[in-house]
């Protein structure tokens, strides 16, 4: 009887241990289920649906080349998988282990028929723990702990062929899922930057390995292409993290890059221990934080989303996010900090916006990074440490980046680009600063002081 391969965020044929396990066991039914119910509020955001559409089309093509098919279904995963098992007489389900709380709950419900394989991490997050078996709260300690599990195993080759079942179960048509935006089509800028799918992911890895030793010096400069831009490919599992790791082996000093890759593992360890981390402050004192609300704060939030705060580096980042579904990491930190500190708006508002706009939106990575920047997290720096967006912009030489993304400022020279208002060069169509740096900073510090131990 057939074996089901349940694809989730592992949309690839190389180094796909669940696919190999099924292929070794018998005939194979590959399936992807679009489930907007089980994840609740964390159902897939709009930008990622664009990615998913193209990634599934690519996976279906690659499976067809092996003589197989990708079955598409919609509905709650547990019920849908049980139904497909009943329809096909399948014996077991094979899947790669994931750590989003809704996936873990589904895995538990399916435990009697589910074979889980490791394939999405450098090491299983539950293996990397403190002496007393607790997850690490601090990244640097996690990194040290991870070393005893390194290097990760070698990536596996894809199966050469897949045996088809005598009868295929019914599949829905990808086009019927309406994953692509229609009117208005805000995704037109995605095509220029991104090609979803395993082949493109592998190509990006191959190109980046040549630049990997320059990562340490270039990664903080938004005007340069200094990072790998692998994040959506890694989120959707079009390439495995251990394949990326092993691709680096012989190319100079790549420790800084490896440390970033390990952040993915770390954040899944955090959400494994604290499944509500995307919704709840890591430090309970922040439940009493007087975040701003009401009409004025709503208008500020809207300006932040639209990239019209009057802070060029923040606005460039928010516009890059909207146009391309991605934002440079340094700018993510600056823009997130600006929302939480200068505008004193609850980090969860920003986290939600990122969830909907990012092609790499990831439950653990998004929540842990937002809480880290906000100062509300278990591993975070103090709330009272406030990033200065204007000097960050200068320090990391963001001039070209701003000129690219903020059209109103594209004519300004370096001397005026970071703070056109101060330089007396603010064009009429570019907004004045929504709040002064000092004023925003003082308001944030005062709010922080109202909750004990912060500020």
Q: Which residues are catalytically annotated?
A: 260, 263, 291, 329, 347, 370
Nearest approach in angstroms of CB 406 to ligand FAD is 20
Nearest approach in angstroms of CB 160 to ligand FAD is 30
Choice from 247, 365, 371, 392 touching ligand FAD (CB under 6 A): 365
Task: Kindly state whether residue 360 participates in binding ligand FAD, applying the rule CB under 6 A.
Answer: yes
Task: Kindly state whether residue 334 participates in binding ligand FAD, applying the rule CB under 6 A.
Answer: no
Task: Kindly state whether residue 227 participates in binding ligand FAD, applying the rule CB under 6 A.
Answer: yes
Task: Kindly state whether residue 339 participates in binding ligand FAD, applying the rule CB under 6 A.
Answer: no
Task: Kindly state whether residue 336 participates in binding ligand FAD, applying the rule CB under 6 A.
Answer: yes
Task: Kindly state whether residue 254 participates in binding ligand FAD, applying the rule CB under 6 A.
Answer: no
Task: Kindly state whether residue 201 participates in binding ligand FAD, applying the rule CB under 6 A.
Answer: no
Nearest approach in angstroms of CB 397 to ligand FAD is 17
Task: Kindly state whether residue 354 participates in binding ligand FAD, applying the rule CB under 6 A.
Answer: yes
Kindly tell me which of 332 and 437 has the beta carbon lying closer to ligand FAD: 332
Q: Point out which span in 82-90, 263-271, 379-387, 444-452 binds ligand FAD (CB under 6 A).
A: 263-271
Kindly tell me which of 174 and 272 has the beta carbon lying closer to ligand FAD: 272
3-state secondary structure the chain: CCEEEEECCCCCCCCCHHHHHHHHHCCEEEEEEECCCCCHHHCCCHHHHHHHHHHHHHHHHHHHHCCCCCEEEECCHHHHHHHHHHHHCCCEEEEECCCCHHHHHHHHHCCCCEEEECCCCCCCHHHCECCCCCECCCHHHHHHHHHHHCCCCCCCCCCCCCCCCCCCCCCCCHHHHCCCCCCCCCCCCHHHHCCCCHHHHHHHHHHHHCCHHHHHHHCCCCCCCCCCCCHHHHHCCCCCHHHHHHHCCCCCCCHHHHHHHHHHHHHHHHHHHCCCCCCCCCCHHHHHCCCCCHHHHHHHHHHHHHCCCCCHHHHHHHHHHHHHCCCCHHHHHHHHHHHHHHCCCCHHHHHHHHHHHCCCCCHHHHHHHHHHHHCCCCCCCCCCCCCCHHHHHHHCCCHHHHHHHCHHHCCCCHHHHCCCCCCCCCCCCCCCCCCCHHHHHHHHHHHHHCCCCCC
**Residues between 368 and 397 that touch ligand FAD (CB under 6 A):** 369-370, 373
Residues that bind ligand FAD (CB under 6 A): 219, 227-231, 234-235, 260-261, 263-264, 267, 329, 332-333, 336, 354, 358, 360-362, 365-366, 369-370, 373
């Amino acid at each position: 009887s057939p074996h089901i391969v349940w694809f989730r965020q592992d949309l690839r044929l190389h180094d796909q241990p669940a696919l190999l396990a099924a292929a070794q066991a018998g005939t194979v039914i590959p399936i992807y289920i679009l489930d907007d119910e089980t994840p609740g509020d964390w159902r897939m955001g709009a930008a990622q649906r664009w990615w998913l559409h193209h990634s599934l089309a690519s996976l279906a093509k690659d499976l067809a080349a092996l003589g197989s098919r990708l079955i598409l279904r919609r509905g709650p995963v547990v019920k849908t998988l049980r139904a497909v098992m009943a329809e096909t007489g399948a014996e077991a389900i094979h899947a790669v282990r994931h750590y989003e709380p809704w996936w873990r709950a589904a895995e538990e419900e399916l435990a009697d028929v589910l074979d889980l394989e490791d394939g999405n991490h450098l090491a299983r997050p539950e293996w990397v723990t403190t002496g007393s078996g607790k997850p690490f709260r601090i990244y640097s300690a996690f990194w040290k702990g991870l070393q005893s599990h390194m290097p990760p195993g070698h990536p596996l080759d894809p199966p050469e062929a897949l045996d088809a079942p005598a009868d295929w179960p019914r599949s829905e048509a990808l086009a019927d899922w309406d994953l692509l935006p229609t009117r208005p089509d805000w995704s037109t800028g995605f095509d220029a930057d991104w090609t979803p799918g395993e082949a493109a992911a592998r190509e990006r890895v191959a190109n980046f390995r040549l630049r990997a030793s320059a990562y340490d010096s270039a990664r903080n400069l938004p005007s340069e292409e200094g990072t790998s831009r692998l994040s959506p490919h890694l989120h959707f599992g079009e390439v495995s993290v251990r394949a990326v790791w092993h691709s680096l082996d012989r190319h100079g000093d790549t420790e800084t890059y490896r440390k970033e890759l390990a952040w993915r593992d770390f954040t899944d360890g955090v959400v494994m221990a604290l499944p509500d981390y995307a919704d709840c402050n890591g430090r309970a004192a922040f439940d009493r934080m007087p975040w701003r609300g009401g009409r004025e704060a709503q208008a500020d939030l809207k300006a932040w989303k639209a990239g019209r705060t009057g802070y060029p580096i923040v606005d460039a980042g928010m516009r890059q996010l909207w146009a391309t579904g991605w934002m440079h990491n340094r700018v993510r930190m600056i823009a997130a900090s600006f929302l939480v500190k200068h505008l004193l708006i609850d980090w969860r508002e920003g986290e939600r916006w990122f969830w909907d706009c990012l092609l790499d939106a990831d439950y653990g990575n998004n929540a842990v990074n937002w809480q880290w920047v906000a100062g509300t997290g278990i591993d975070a720096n103090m709330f009272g440490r406030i990033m200065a967006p204007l000097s960050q912009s200068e320090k990391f030489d963001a001039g070209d980046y701003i000129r690219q993304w903020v059209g109103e400022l594209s004519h300004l020279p370096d001397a005026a680009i970071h703070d056109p208002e101060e330089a007396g060069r603010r064009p009429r169509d570019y907004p004045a600063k929504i709040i002064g740096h000092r004023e925003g900073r003082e308001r944030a510090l005062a709010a922080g002081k109202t909750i004990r131990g912060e500020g």
